[in-house]
Structure formats: structure tokens, C-alpha cells
Structure 1
């Protein structure tokens, strides 16, 4: 039987741990295993969990020590409202002791009560190890941990253990890729405790202003509009969010508002669906999109049985809030998969080929087929793979990448397919899931597939054909549900001819193929790439001189976009206070590659001036180049121009003079087609020395 994923709670107290485990098991225990570690019990699990939930930030360091390297979420927990009516009956001005095992937890409870409007009493905190005079207190409040306090009080009110918020429960569902509908079940179970408490408060305190204030506290954490009424359609309560949504003041009956009457009549026509998963009978309608005072709202009507009577509950959520919640979930998913950083919007290039490539990739993203990306190193193959995942139906699943060129054969196999317990010396207890299992429900990116050993190619072929993997040291096949995107910078078809790559694997991979464009074939956009990326880093525009851009456009860019980004990073730190980038600002390796002068060339400008004054042809050559600016001209054109002026210079002598000028950074010589032209430094030099 396949092992279920494991969720572990880490708490300081075993009572809290057991309570949190039960609350999650009751909803999704059939889908995942739930266990825990409590500091006071020190119960170690028999295998490493897939996710750890801590009861608060005070447990984070403990969790990191017990379960190193496991993804961790800090729970947001809330008071359920249990015994709150007893708290409200405490006389005004009474000093009350709030009990917990930690100061931070006690203060959290106080903050929750005060934020809900329970401000008629004075709060003091007690935590384990603290000494007090118990005779000062007739009342003590304890959120489920009253057994920790050694003192006796006249009135000890158990507020009940704090439960997981719906927000944290959704994070758990998102991590394990479970249906978010389970959040509704958890929310309704969680909500019923609040409704029970609210009804008790109403019966205890009547319709007083204090009652309405504390109803708002009980339902405050939900963040939605709540309206409750009984079988006779009498108004029981509504929270402030609902009043704001309907534009109804405190002294108005919300059930009489035209908007609520219209919505109520809509729900009267809908049948209620029984929910058999809950211990307490509850029925609800489907969600309905309604418009309230110009705002789109998602509304649900539920029926709850309380004390043998039926009570109807209306819940309203703003559509805009739901959209933001969805975006938040996507961000959470990205945080669980930090490698997913790019979308199609991040891919540069507005030339026809790049635009066509992105459009084709978007079409491929909507499918489940394998994609093969071919391109030179640094052309954005992984960026394209991440963008395909982000735009695919699997975007809420994991994106897992592996570079097959950076690992040994034995390591690749265990990383890709995992291993069972005892598979080899040093194998961890319980074994370990491989990347294919980790990517279940999402996408696996096989980078540098052309460098995979032939033995690994055979195993990959089986995965593509049968969609199962077998862990190292095991005979049990494990079914997987992943989408495969592969990439390479090697000529696979040539490798097939030489026996370095399997033809059957190639044709399995090459279902949908994409080819990235090298940067040297996008010369017209290099200036835009440079200025945009540099502006992002420096938070201000920085221009490139004409000479610098000409050099960079003529450069071969063997490292493609990766090299371009490295260049911009270099300029960001070295030219932070400049408004323009000139050739001498570029890194020396690039200048040497282009044949331009570097900082290590030290002939002074004074020596150049003397050379120019003593050598008439040198002045004349500079004049011809100056008059041709900004256009570049070849040596043949320079020679013919000098001849027409009566100045005779041999081709060998001209070449010598040009090399001198180039060595000192006064001219730039490009390809034969581009010719040579004066740099900004050369123009300044000519004006200073030759126009006097």
C-alpha cells in the first residue's frame, strides 16, 4: 500500500498537539497521515514528515532542530469562543489572570480578547515558572492549559484550546495539493462553535449593546459578512462586515433591506444539500454570485440544528477578496516552490521570432504533452520551462528542476527516483522520495538532458512510456502524475548517430519542441535589453554612448543573456554615479575580446599629442575619421580621401597608424562592413590637438 504524505505538528504542550492533530485528521485524515512532536512528551516520529506546522513562532527553532530541512509553516490560531459568556459575566474592573506555558502565548490570548471588545476587565499574564500571589485573583482564564498552573482560584474559566484558523488549514491543503473544498467543511465545523457561543451569549445577555459587540468579536476572524436568523425569520445577529456590505446601520433591521430580501428569495428556490461529513448535521446551498450595492459577492446559505431548532446562516464574501485570496494562494505555492520565478512576461524579445516562440510556448503550456527546449547555454531555457509551468493547468503544483550535467550517474538515479530504506550505506531511515515523486501533480524540468548517461536514459524512457518509477533498492512500482519538460544545448540528432543518445528517448521527448534564440541574433534589441535591465537595478535611467552600444552590438555574446545580465551587474556597481556608459567603463575581458584598449595600456595623452604634432599623416587620418563621424569608414576609403587631398600614405603605414590610434582608445575598428570610427575619446583628442 502506498504511503500517505505526513503532516507533523510541533508544539510545546502534548495536549495542544493532540488537539491540533485531531482537528486535521477529522477532515482529511483519509488523505494524509497526521502526527506530532511535543516538547513535554518528546515523541519522535518513525519517518520524516513532508510538512511541519508549528503552534506559534516560539516553536520555530524547536521544529528546525527536530525536523531540519523540512518545509515549515507557522500556524495562525484563534480562540473558539468557548465559555466566553462566563468571561462577560465577570464584574467590570476585576483583575483577571491569563494562564499559559509561555509569556508570548498568554499575551496572544489577551490581545485576542481585547481586540474583540472584551475590555471591561483588567488582564495580567502568568506563564510557567513565574511566581505570583494567587490571593490577588478571584478569576483566572486558561486557553485549555489550566493544568499547567500550580495555583488554585475561586473561578477558573477554561477558554478552550486555540484552533487552527481557516487560513492555515488552506495552506495545508495547498501544500498537499488537496481539494480546497475541504476548507469549507473545516470552516463550517469551526463556524458552528462560534454560532453556538453566540446563541448562548444572546440567551444570557439578551439583545444588549454588549451582546452585539461580543458577537462581532466571535465572528471577527472570518472576515466575511455573517447574517443569522431562526425558523421564524427573526433576526438573531449579524456582524459589522455584513452591515457594511448592505449599507445598514446598527439601528436598522438588515432582514428588511431590499437587497437582503432579493437575495433571500433567490435562495428560497435552491435546495439545501446535506453534508454527511460533519458530526453535527449541516446543510448548505451552492455558492451564488450576487450584486450588493454595486459590489459582486459570493453568498452561501447554511442550515444548522441548534438545541432542536433550525438556524439559518448567510455568509457573504467579496468577489474581489476571493480574487486576492487566490493570488495569495498562488504566492504561497510559489513560496513552497521557490524555483518558480518566471512567467512569459519575464521573457525578453520583441522580434518576430521571439514573439512567435512565446505564442507557441503558451499553446504548448495548455497541453499535457512533453516539451523539449533546445538552445545555447544562457538563452533562457529554464525561464521558458518555468513560464510553461506557470501558464499550465499544473501551475498550482510543484515545479522541480534537476541539472543532469552536474551529477554522477549513481547520484542522478537516487535523486530522480528516490530510494528505499537500506538501499545503500547511509540511506536515511524510511527511504526518500525522488524528484519525480516530489513533482507529483506538477512539472519536472530535466535540464541538460543531452548529458544524461545512457543507463539513466533507459530509465527515463520507461517513465515516459509507463508513467511509473521504481525507487533504488525497491521492486515496487510507484505511479506518478507529472508533466516533463526537458532542455539541452547539445545536438541530440548528431549524438544519436554517434551512439551517445538513444533515438527512442529522443522521439519520446521531442513531442513539442521549442528553440531559443541566441543573443547575437537579436542585435537590434541589445540596447533595449541593456538600458531596461540597468534601469531596474539602479532605479534610474542610465544611457549608453554610441561607441559603447556599437561595441556591444558587434560583440558575439557567447554567454548570451546570462553574460548580458552579468555585464549589467558589473556596470551597476562600477558606474553607479554615472549618467552614461562609455567604452572604457566596460569590463576588460570584453574590451580585449573586441580589440579595444584596456586600462592596463598606459601611454599618456601628452605623448600622443607630441606624436600628433610631429606626424602630419596622423593628424590627416584623424581629420578624415572626424569628418566621417559618426559613420565608420574602411582603410581603402581613408587612403583614397588622403590621395585626393595630396597626402600620400602607404597601406602598411596607414595600418600602423590605425593600430596606434586603436591601442590608445581613439578609434574603434569593427567588422569590414562597419569600418573604423572615432570614439568619444578620439573626438575630444582631435578637437584638442588638431583644431588649434
Structure 2
């Protein structure tokens, strides 16, 4: 307003713009004897200024109210209970879920100290202490009979500190975990086995299991080396199950089953348009899908060399680049690799990268083949039959010899297949005999008999002596075995055998016939089925019949 200052005043001081009321402006005009028309001009400007300020204030109020409503909706729709407290721990905001969990009205909670509110409930345990590295703490409270996790987050500002508290019932946490596990299971990304599923009585195998259990407690890379069929994947499942990342996914990939040109896109994923046939939107690789869990690289010895190079970089940097992509994706994943190949030889032949081997071989696990711990053969067989089918059967000595003399090139996988065969072949029998074993195992029986022919003759002599002591001549037994052998595949019950023997002039009472069959069965010469299943001759019985025939002709 310097232009209103009278000309006769020589010394003027400009104090800048000031808010002047209408009455004060009128007093200034009167004091300086100025024209009152200046008051009308000032009034118009003053009114315009008030209107403009009013409009801005109204718009600001509308926006603030809209933001407040949005904030209220967001906070109240949040699944967890939320409580906001200032630096004095005085509560200023509570959402609906927190009020529901605490079973208190919002108006009752607001302006109270958070400690006074929580003092009404019992603290069961502290699960996370606040420290310098983390501004978060968590405890479990019993709130109206329900275990509830209460988490406090310290929010530091430039001038003001505050606290956010979240409340969530343990049952809802468990429900969420179940939903996550269900989704992982639908994808097949869960473990099926634990260390209790690895059956052994062998001291060396037990040591391997304990070593693997110890390795599982870390998050370091593990390399499992074993022959085909020794349960490498079973070990991988068990290690993941006992590891710190057991709640994360377990993703397995077999390099022997993926074409070389697809390995990279399967492992590392690809972006849309990366190649012909690429899915719209791209695809996550197995490393991304295993994030927070375990990636099992089975048959790593079959990985192509160009993939080994990329794999090494991913293991070193813990990040992947999708095929056709430009963005680096961090992946925190535990690696378990397995192979049945001689990696040392593969390195010499330049078929496997030595640096990748050392990267994977942080903790090596070498599983011995089944033939080196043969005490497990009978143990696994009988335990499988008991666990899978709920049956317990004695294994005859001759069947034991067959099983123990077999080389088991397919290891435990082959043994499980034999157990399945035995279950179906021995139905109706009380013990497992050589006749219940597959041909590949019976071939081992031939070797046993060849190596112990004198022992076998001694066994047959003992059988004949036992039968003679019970009044059963060798000639009659030979005739009976011929009848059973001749009727192989046909119904052959006790009464039928009595009639056939009588035709050969051997008359036996029902009791004598029953005793004869019992003795032959105990000698593992015949199999006696239940009810209508009848009687049949065993492989040992056929050899015993040949033994009797040779004695007669000699």
C-alpha cells in the first residue's frame, strides 16, 4: 500500500504485506485524510481473497474427508487386527477386526494406553524380541480363550515416533498355512517322505542317514551320489522335510527326462515372445517356483555343458535371468543335486564342469548299494509287505538263499518290485518259498544249488530219514510227488491225492495222508494251499523227486 502514503512523508519503511482488517484500514484512511473510495476497492479485494481461501479450504476438506474414508475402508477391510498408537503408547486408531478380537468397542479403546488394554489378557510367550537390527517384536496372548499373535512395529519418524500393532489368531495363521500347503500340493511341490521312510538295519546306512539329517539343518548345497534305485529322491525329500525351509516348496527336476533345448527355459523361465511357442505372459522357471524352498536337481550328471555354465552363475549369484528377459530376478533356494554317474570320471572326460561340482559338493552324501548291506534285503522285503499289505510271512531258508545270492542291480527299487511279486505269488501260503520269487531271482537259486550240491544232498537225506522215521517209505513219497507234479495247474486236494495213491497200491488213512503232507510242507517240498487251492510241488520238491529217482535207478 505504499501508493497511499502521503507525498510529504519523506522517510518511508516498507514492512511488506500485512493482513489488515476493514476497521483498521478505515482508521488509516482517516488518519492520513485520504479519500474513502479506497475503502470500497480494498473491500472488494478482501472479499475476493476470502472467497478464494474459502474455496481452497473447502476443496482441501473434501479431499481430506475422502482420504479419511478411503483409509478407514482399507484399514477395516484388512484381515488382521490393527491398532495405531503414538510415542506415548496412546491409541488413536483401531480397526474393526482388532475390536472384534479384543471384544471391545472402538470408542472404549481409543485414547487408552495399549499396555492398559493388553494387561487384561495373559501373555503366553515371547516369540520375537525387538533388537537393534529389527524394530519388530511379537508375543502370543490368550485373548478370550484364543491364542493370538500380537506383533508390534516401531515406526521412527523425523520428529515423532509411533507404533503399529497387528493381531492375528493362531488358528487363522494355521488355516492360511494349510491353504498354502494345499496349493503347493496341487502343483506337486510338497515332500512325501521323511527320514523315517528310509528303512535299514545296517550300521553304515544308519551313519549316512544321521549325516544327511545333520546336513539338512543347514541351507548349504548337498550332492547325493548313489546307484540307480537306491532312493536318491527319497533322501532329498527327507532332507527338505528336516530343513529350515521345509514350509517352502519342494520342486524336483530330472535332467535325464528333459530335452537339451528345453532345459534352460524349464529351469530359468522365459518371457513372452522369447521363442516360437512361448506362452503369453511368459513362464516362471523352476528356480522361481522353488523360491523359499528346495530345488532338487536329479541326474545332474546328465545336464548339458551349456546349461552347467548358466547353472553355476545362478548358484553363485542367487539370481536368474529368464530366457528372452532383461530383468534380474533374485532367487533364494536350497539346492540338492543327485547323480548315479562317476562325476570324477565325467570331469576328466570334460563332460562335467569341475567348478560346478565343487559348488554343488558342499555336503556330499554317498549311499552304498544294496549288495553291500544284504541284511537289509530280508528286512525291507518283510517290512514292505507288513506296511503295504499288513501281512507277516516267514521266509523259508531256501528262499532266503535265493534273495541273498541275487546281485540286486536295481537296488531297493528292484527289491520293492520283487516284494510286490511275492505278495501276489504267495497268496494262500503261510511262508515265502522259492516258487514265490520271480525268475530273475530264481536264477540266483540255481547258482546257490550249484555251489552247494553236497549240502543239498545232505538236506535231501535228512528229509528222507525224517519221512522213514514216521513210517513213510521213499517209494511212496516219490509216487506222491509224481502225482502232484503231474496234476500241476489242476485242483489237487488231500482226498484227490488219496484216491490217486490208492490206484498205485498205496493205501493211506486220512490222518496218515494229512501227516504226510504236513511233513513235506515243513521240508519245503510242497505248498499246501487253503481250502480249494490244493497242493503243488515246489522247485525244491522237483529236485528232491529227481534225487529219489536217481537213488532208485542207482
TM-score by length of 1: 0.46
Q: In the alignment, is residue 437 of structure 1 matched against residue 293 of structure 2?
A: no
Aligned residues: 368
Distance in 1 between the 2:384 and 2:94 partners? 49
**Which residue is equivalent to 2:96?**
192
Question: Which blocks of at least 5 consecutive residues in structure 1 are unaligned?
Answer: 1-21, 28-79, 81-162, 164-181, 197-224, 234-260, 271-284, 303-314, 598-618, 630-664, 668-677
The alignment partner of 2:374 has SS state of: helix
Determine if contact 2:102/2:143 at 8 Å carries over to the other structure: no
Match of 2:356 among 505, 519, 526: 505
Match of 1:384 among 196, 215, 235: 235
1:199-214 correspondence runs (5 A): none
**Which residue is equivalent to 2:438?**
587
**Which residue is equivalent to 2:274?**
423
Q: In the alignment, is residue 495 of structure 1 matched against residue 346 of structure 2?
A: yes
Match of 1:372 among 196, 202, 223: 223
Aligned Cα root-mean-square deviation (Å): 4.8
Deviation at 1:381, TM superposition (A): 0.7
The alignment partner of 1:514 has SS state of: strand
**Which residue is equivalent to 1:485?**
336
**Which residue is equivalent to 2:425?**
574
Deviation at 1:425, TM superposition (A): 1.0
Distance 1:193 1:442, change over 3 A: closer
CA deviations on 1:327-375 (whole Å, 9 max, x unpaired) are: 8568536624535211111111132212211111111112121110001
Q: In the alignment, is residue 526 of structure 1 matched against residue 377 of structure 2?
A: yes
Determine if contact 1:399/1:444 at 8 Å carries over to the other structure: yes
Determine if contact 1:337/1:398 at 8 Å carries over to the other structure: no
Distance in 2 between the 1:346 and 1:396 partners? 19
Q: In the alignment, is residue 359 of structure 1 matched against residue 210 of structure 2?
A: yes
Distance in 1 between the 2:150 and 2:107 partners? 13
Determine if contact 1:263/1:290 at 8 Å carries over to the other structure: no
Determine if contact 2:94/2:106 at 8 Å carries over to the other structure: no
1:78-477 correspondence runs (5 A): 184-185=80-81, 192=96, 228=104, 264=120, 287-289=139-141, 298-299=147-148, 328=178, 332=182, 335-336=185-186, 338=188, 339-477=190-328
Question: Which blocks of at least 5 consecutive residues in structure 2 are unaligned?
Answer: 1-69, 85-92, 110-116, 127-136, 152-166, 464-523, 527-537
Distance 1:334 1:554, change over 3 A: farther
Deviation at 1:513, TM superposition (A): 0.4
The alignment partner of 1:455 has SS state of: helix
**Which residue is equivalent to 2:399?**
548
Larger RCO, structure (CA 8 Å, separation 6 or more):
2
Distance in 2 between the 1:591 and 1:468 partners? 53
Deviation at 1:500, TM superposition (A): 1.2
Distance in 2 between the 1:504 and 1:232 partners? 65
Deviation at 1:470, TM superposition (A): 1.6
CA deviations on 1:551-598 (whole Å, 9 max, x unpaired) are: 11111111111111111222333334333221111112332354379x
**Which residue is equivalent to 1:217?**
none
CA deviations on 1:146-201 (whole Å, 9 max, x unpaired) are: xxxxxxxxxxxxxxxxx9xxxxxxxxxxxxxxxxxx853499999937978xxxxx
The alignment partner of 2:419 has SS state of: helix
Deviation at 1:474, TM superposition (A): 2.3
1:29-68 correspondence runs (5 A): none
CA deviations on 1:503-542 (whole Å, 9 max, x unpaired) are: 1111111111001121111211211111110112222223
Distance 1:626 1:394, change over 3 A: same
Distance 1:301 1:461, change over 3 A: closer
Determine if contact 1:622/1:686 at 8 Å carries over to the other structure: no
Distance in 2 between the 1:386 and 1:266 partners? 40
The alignment partner of 1:485 has SS state of: strand
Distance in 1 between the 2:408 and 2:459 partners? 28
Q: In the alignment, is residue 624 of structure 1 matched against residue 458 of structure 2?
A: yes
Determine if contact 2:201/2:379 at 8 Å carries over to the other structure: no
**Which residue is equivalent to 2:7?**
none
CA deviations on 1:215-267 (whole Å, 9 max, x unpaired) are: xxxxxxxxxx975579889xxxxxxxxxxxxxxxxxxxxxxxxxxx9972757
- Moved runs in structure 1, 4+ residues, more than 6 A? 186-191, 193-196, 229-233, 321-324, 619-622, 686-692
Q: In the alignment, is residue 565 of structure 1 matched against residue 416 of structure 2?
A: yes
Distance in 1 between the 2:206 and 2:199 partners? 9
Deviation at 1:543, TM superposition (A): 2.7
TM-score by length of 2: 0.56
Distance in 2 between the 1:195 and 1:437 partners? 39
The alignment partner of 1:412 has SS state of: helix
Distance in 2 between the 1:286 and 1:471 partners? 38
Determine if contact 1:330/1:396 at 8 Å carries over to the other structure: no
